[in-house]
Structure 1
């Protein structure tokens, strides 16, 4: 799913894309997400939908637990990856793969 699909699912809980999100959470679909998409989702939810930080962090944590984190690191030493999500006054959002 791309950023627009996630945004529609999160911002419009009565819409059909929210139902897709729920099916993915229940394991009917496999979600893939990159750190860049997570950052873009956070930015859009904050700027266009005026979500507060707590609400955004809660949704992003749920997303990163439900999704497989993908990146373009072909020579990574570890196959286990963790997504870290932080918010601060200096930088609105940081999602990085460690």
Structure 2
């Protein structure tokens, strides 16, 4: 699967922003796969709180942050298996 160069640039900008000014020090840290698997949560889009749509023409765009710490996922099963299934379906639909 090929990746557009602008998407790679966007990804690295996000990584550097998240890691902050100590980018090179933080980049050398190891990814803890076991921790990630134990703490992974996959949410259905309907689980995530949203801002209700408005008909006010003065509002053209809204950005917001959602705290999911108190939100339970309605998706049953093992989160990693669910995530793999989602990506598999997305990849298959891109091949068609």
Larger radius of gyration: 2
> Do these two structures clear the TM 0.5 threshold for a shared fold by scoring above it?
no
- TM-score when normalising by structure 2: 0.25
- TM-score when normalising by structure 1: 0.24
Higher relative contact order (CA 8 A, sep 6+): 2
More helix by share: 2
More strand by share: 1
